[in-house]
C-alpha cells in the first residue's frame, strides 16, 4: 500500500500543505468491479490510489467501452473535473480490491494556491495522460471500425450471393429429376456454370472495390438486346419463386443495339438491382418489376421499376455511397456502390429515384458503339 504522503500528488508538498492533504483526504474502499465514478457524472474531486488497480474507460457507442488506462498504486486520477468543473469524461472501475484517497475539488484548489509546483505537475501529468489516452482511444476506435467493416462486408457477401445460389439450387433440382430430358439437364448444367462464373466475378468485384483497382479498359462489342434477354432469363426463376411479375421489354429477340460490354460484370448489376427489388417487394400485395429499354444514336438506357414502397427521400441522394442502406435488416449499401462503379467504368452513368405510385426506379445509360469504334474504352471523364 502506498501512503498518501508518498504518492505522486504529494511529491512537491511539504509542511502545512502536506498536512492539509493528509488530514483533508477521505479514505474510500471499493470491492472488485465497483464503479468509483461513472462517465458523465458530476466531478467533485480527484482520487489517489493507495492499493489495487483501477481501469479508466470511455464509451464510444452505447454499450461499448474502451479501456484508456490502468492506474497503479501511487497514481491519481479524475483530475480533469477539478480543472474544468465539468462532468467526468471517463469511468473508473476497480479491477480488484481498491483503497483510494478522495481529495475534494476545494482541497485541491487550496493546495494549488500554496504550491505552484503542484499546479505545474498537475498540468504536465494531465497533458501526458491526455496524449496517451488519445493514442489508446484512437487505436481502440480503429480496431472497432475494422471489425465493423469486416461484419459489413460479410453481410454484403451473403446478401449478394443469395440470388446466384438460388439459381444454382433450382437448376440442380431440375437436373436431378429423373423424368427430365437430356436437353433440359444440359441447360441446367450450363446455368449452374454461368452462375458459378457470376459468383467468382462477384468475389473479384468485392476485392477490386476494397483495393481500389480498375479493370481492363478493353471491352468486346455486344448486342445489348440479346444480353438483356439472357440476363432476364437467368433472373426469372428467382422472381417466380417470390411470386413477382416481371414485365420485359418487347421484341428483344429481334433487336440489335450494340455496346461495349463486360457481360459478367453488367450481369452483376442486374443481380444486385433485382435482389434489392426482391427485398423491397417482400410484403407487397401485387409485386411487379418492369424493365424498360430505350436508345438513341448516343446511348442505351435501361430502367428497372418496382411496385414497392420506394426510397426514403433522405436516403435517395446517398444510395450509391458505400455502406448506405435502407429497408433491409442486414443490408450494407455496398452493392449499389459497386453497381454505380461498374456502369461508370463502362463509360455510363446511373441514377435512382421514385415514381409516384409505382415505387423506386434505377436507371443506367451505356454509350452505343459507332462505326469504326475499337474495343478500347476511352478514359472516363473526371468526376465533378
pLDDT at 61: 56
Enclosing H/E stretch for 299? strand 299-306
Cα(303)–Cα(319) distance, rounded to whole angstroms?
Answer: 16
Q: Is 33 left (phi over 0), alpha (psi -120 to 50) or beta?
A: left
354-359, long-range: CB < 8 A, 24+ apart: 354/310, 354/311, 354/316, 355/305, 355/310, 358/305, 358/306, 358/307, 359/280, 359/305, 359/306, 359/307, 359/308, 359/309, 359/310
CB-count burial class (<10 Å; 0-12, 13-18, 19+) for 183: exposed
Cα(349)–Cα(342) distance, rounded to whole angstroms?
Answer: 9
Residue 309, SS3 per DSSP: coil
Structural class in CATH, domain 161-367: alpha beta
Give buried/exposed letters for 100-121 (b at 16+ CB in 10 A, else e). Answer: bbbbebebbeebbebbeebeee
Residues of the chain with CATH 3.30.565.10: 161-367
Residue 284, SS3 per DSSP: coil
pLDDT at 322: 78
Cell 440479346 appears where?
A: 226
The torsion angles phi and psi of 198, rounded to 5 degrees, stand at -65, -45
Instruction: Tell me the chain's radius of gyration from C-alpha atoms.
Output: 33
Write out the three cell numbers for 245: 411479375
pLDDT, tens digit (0-9, with 9 covering 90-100), for 263-317: 888 988 998 899 888 888 988 888 999 999 999 999 999 999 999 999 988 888 8
Sheet with 245-247, edge to edge strand ranges: 245-247, 288-295, 299-306, 359-367, 349-355
pLDDT at 30: 96
Cα(266)–Cα(198) distance, rounded to whole angstroms?
Answer: 10
Cα(95)–Cα(70) distance, rounded to whole angstroms?
Answer: 9
The ranges of the chain with pLDDT < 50 are 329-332, 382-384
In the DSSP assignment, the letter for residue 323 is T
pLDDT at 330: 45
**pTM across the whole model:** 0.51
pLDDT at 329: 45
The torsion angles phi and psi of 203, rounded to 5 degrees, stand at -65, -40
pLDDT at 59: 77
pLDDT at 114: 81
pLDDT, tens digit (0-9, with 9 covering 90-100), for 69-98: 899 999 999 888 777 777 888 899 999 999
Write out the three cell numbers for 370: 459507332
Enclosing H/E stretch for 300? strand 299-306
Structural class in CATH, domain 4-114: mainly beta
The torsion angles phi and psi of 41, rounded to 5 degrees, stand at -75, 165
Write out the three cell numbers for 139: 487505436
pLDDT at 68: 81
pLDDT at 360: 93
Residues of the chain with CATH 2.60.120.10: 4-114
Amino acid at each position: 500500500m502506498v501512503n498518501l504522503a508518498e504518492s505522486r500528488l504529494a511529491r512537491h508538498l511539504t509542511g502545512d500543505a502536506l498536512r492539509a492533504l493528509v488530514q483533508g483526504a477521505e479514505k474510500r474502499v471499493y470491492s472488485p468491479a465497483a464503479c468509483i465514478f461513472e462517465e458523465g457524472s458530476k466531478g467533485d474531486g480527484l482520487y489517489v490510489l493507495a492499493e489495487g488497480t483501477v481501469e479508466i474507460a470511455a464509451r464510444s457507442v452505447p454499450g461499448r467501452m474502451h479501456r484508456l488506462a490502468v492506474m497503479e498504486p501511487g497514481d491519481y486520477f479524475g483530475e480533469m473535473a477539478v480543472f474544468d468543473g465539468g462532468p467526468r469524461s471517463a469511468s473508473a472501475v476497480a479491477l480488484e480490491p481498491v483503497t483510494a484517497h478522495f481529495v475534494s475539488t476545494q482541497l485541491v484548489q487550496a493546495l494549488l494556491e500554496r504550491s505552484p509546483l503542484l499546479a505545474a505537475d498537475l498540468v504536465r501529468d494531465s497533458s501526458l495522460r491526455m496524449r496517451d489516452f488519445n493514442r489508446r482511444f484512437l487505436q481502440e476506435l480503429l480496431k472497432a471500425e475494422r471489425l465493423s467493416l469486416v461484419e459489413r462486408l460479410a453481410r454484403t457477401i451473403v446478401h449478394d450471393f443469395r440470388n446466384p445460389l438460388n439459381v444454382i439450387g433450382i437448376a440442380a433440382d431440375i437436373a436431378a429429376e429423373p423424368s427430365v430430358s437430356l436437353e433440359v439437364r444440359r441447360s441446367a448444367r450450363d446455368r449452374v456454370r454461368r452462375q458459378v462464373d457470376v459468383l467468382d466475378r462477384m468475389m473479384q468485384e468485392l476485392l477490386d472495390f476494397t483495393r481500389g483497382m480498375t479493370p481492363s479498359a478493353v471491352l468486346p462489342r455486344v448486342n445489348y438486346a440479346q444480353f438483356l434477354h439472357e440476363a432476364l432469363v437467368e433472373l426469372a426463376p428467382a422472381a417466380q419463386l417470390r411470386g413477382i411479375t416481371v414485365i420485359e421489354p418487347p421484341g428483344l429477340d429481334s433487336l440489335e443495339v450494340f455496346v461495349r460490354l463486360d457481360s459478367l460484370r453488367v450481369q452483376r448489376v442486374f443481380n444486385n438491382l433485382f435482389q434489392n427489388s426482391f427485398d423491397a417487394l417482400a410484403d407487397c400485395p401485387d409485386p411487379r418489376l418492369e424493365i424498360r429499354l430505350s436508345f438513341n444514336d448516343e446511348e442505351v438506357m435501361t430502367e428497372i421499376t418496382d411496385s414497392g414502397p420506394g426510397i426514403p427521400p433522405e436516403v435517395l441522394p446517398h444510395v450509391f455511397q458505400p455502406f448506405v442502406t435502407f429497408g433491409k435488416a442486414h443490408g450494407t449499401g455496398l452493392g449499389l456502390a459497386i453497381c454505380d462503379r461498374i456502369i461508370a467504368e463502362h463509360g455510363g452513368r446511373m441514377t435512382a429515384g421514385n415514381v409516384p405510385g409505382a415505387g423506386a426506379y434505377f436507371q443506367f445509360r451505356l454509350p452505343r458503339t459507332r462505326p469504326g469504334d475499337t474495343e478500347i474504352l476511352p478514359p472516363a471523364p473526371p468526376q465533378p
